[in-house]
Amino acid sequence: MPRISKTELLKLQKSLKTDKAIGEKFGITRQAIHQFRNLYGIPSLQAKNDKRNAYIISLHKKGLSGVKIAKKVGLCVSQTCRIINLSEKKTAPSKKKKTVSVKNKIYWSIQFFCLAVPFQLSPIPLIEVY
């Protein structure tokens, strides 16, 4: 397995961007490159994705299309649209849960009890709760 120095790995990370591309250059796996990065304490470029995503979202809010943003940022269109859609889901208002009133709960529990216990000496009248 080839040994890659820290400075060489930093240079390659700037030019080739991904662990897979660096690994292909040396004929090793992306996991091996990942282990080298961890050994040398080099963070992945994914740490910069939050800034990139915020930039993509700001361009989208200005009215640029997903295709134009993708070309400008250097991503594929599907990844750009995925980032935009995820940001819209986070900011979308949450749906209000359907609540059942206490009156309905009591009414239906009494109805169920009457059906579940059919053989009683004195029948329980159905109660309507208003």
The DSSP string of 92-113 is SPPPPPP---HHHHHHHHHHHH
Residues 6+ apart with CB under 8 A from 57: 83, 84, 87
Q: How far apart are CA 22 and CA 13, in angstroms?
A: 7
Q: How far apart are CA 125 and CA 3, in angstroms?
A: 85
Looking at residue 51, its pLDDT comes to 87
Confidence band of 93 (pLDDT split at 50, 70, 90): low
CB 6 within 8 A of CB 33: no
Does residue 64 carry a pLDDT above 70? yes
Long-range (24+ apart) CB contacts under 8 A made by 73-81 are: 80/56
Domains of the chain, by residue range, sit at: 6-43, 48-91
Residues 29-40 have pLDDT tens digits of: 989 989 988 888
